[in-house]
């Protein structure tokens, strides 16, 4: 077990070297490794203890681990779904832009959306995302530009360039849809990173979208375990913030 903990810590350090640190979620691998080593060292003594406090701690840990795996099951299930054809709207949540160039994550979302839009010519895209630090353009503007480069005419693209979170992506997208006479009751597809779909769809349902399916896009293979594990923490945060 100690060896696995060491592997998790090394993996977490590798993730930080690639993506940097912006939130404690980004250190999930390191924290998991430290926790795993601690469990290996003290777990047997806690389980063998007759005192109530250690036994309560063991019970809480078992509940937390069970909850994590239940969430991961839902996240993976959503990641594997096939989007329903014939959607009225296709929402693309923003992601990092490097200057005016989409990051790999955003590029894959854009290409996934373009693929769906070309297969469903009546669907309208909603490009979402504001302008963050180090971004020369809003994420929405970059999405729209790249969709046009991939053959989607501007008349099929709506822009929402104020949002900064997934919830805002979806809330402001809904407001944009309603401003043109549409509604959240119409079939909608969210095109995002595969690991992100479960949370995005849960948030969409909470905001009043009625018929949402998802189209998942792959991330860098090395980072997939990190992103899928991190989503469990993101779900807990959304719940604590009252968004779910």
pLDDT (0 to 100) of residue 222: 79
pLDDT (0 to 100) of residue 30: 73
pLDDT (0 to 100) of residue 21: 64
99 close to 92: Cβ distance less than 8 angstroms: no
pLDDT in tens, 110-161: 999 999 999 999 999 999 999 999 999 999 999 999 999 999 999 999 999 9
pLDDT (0 to 100) of residue 147: 99
- Classify domain 89-220 by CATH architecture: 3-Layer(aba) Sandwich (3.40)
Question: Which residues of the chain fall short of a pLDDT of 50?
Answer: none
In 3D space, the residue among 158, 170, 210 whose CA is nearest the CA of residue 187 turns out to be: 210
pLDDT (0 to 100) of residue 8: 72
Provide the Cα torsion 48, 50, 56, 57; round to 10°: -40
146 close to 105: Cβ distance less than 8 angstroms: no
pLDDT in tens, 233-243: 899 999 999 99
Boundaries of every domain in the chain? 2-79, 89-220
**3-class secondary-structure state, position 135:** strand
CA distance 146 to 149: 5
- What value does the CA radius of gyration of the chain take, rounded to a whole number of Å? 20
CA distance 198 to 92: 14
pLDDT (0 to 100) of residue 100: 96
pLDDT (0 to 100) of residue 16: 72
pLDDT (0 to 100) of residue 19: 67
């Amino acid at each position: 077990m100690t060896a696995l903990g060491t592997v998790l810590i090394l993996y977490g350090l590798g993730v930080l070297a690639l993506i940097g640190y912006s939130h404690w979620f980004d250190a999930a691998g390191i924290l998991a490794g430290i926790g795993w080593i601690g469990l290996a060292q003290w777990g047997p003594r806690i389980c063998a203890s007759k005192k109530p406090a250690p036994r309560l701690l063991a019970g809480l840990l078992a509940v937390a681990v069970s909850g994590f795996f239940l969430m991961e099951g839902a996240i993976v299930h959503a990641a594997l779904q096939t989007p329903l054809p014939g959607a009225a709207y296709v929402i693309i949540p923003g992601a990092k832009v490097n200057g005016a160039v989409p990051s790999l994550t955003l590029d894959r979302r854009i290409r996934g959306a373009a693929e769906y839009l070309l297969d469903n010519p009546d669907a309208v895209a909603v490009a979402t995302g504001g302008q963050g630090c180090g971004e020369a353009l809003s994420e929405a503007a970059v999405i729209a530009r790249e969709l046009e480069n991939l053959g989607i005419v501007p008349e099929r693209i709506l822009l929402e360039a104020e949002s900064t979170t997934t919830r805002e992506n979806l809330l402001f997208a809904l407001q944009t849809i309603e401003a043109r006479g549409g509604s959240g009751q119409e079939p909608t597809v969210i095109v995002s990173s595969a690991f992100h779909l479960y949370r995005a769809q849960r948030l969409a349902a909470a905001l009043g979208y009625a018929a949402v399916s998802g189209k998942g896009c792959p991330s860098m293979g090395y980072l997939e375990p990190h992103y899928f594990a991190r989503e469990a923490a993101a779900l807990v945060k959304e719940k604590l913030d009252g968004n779910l």
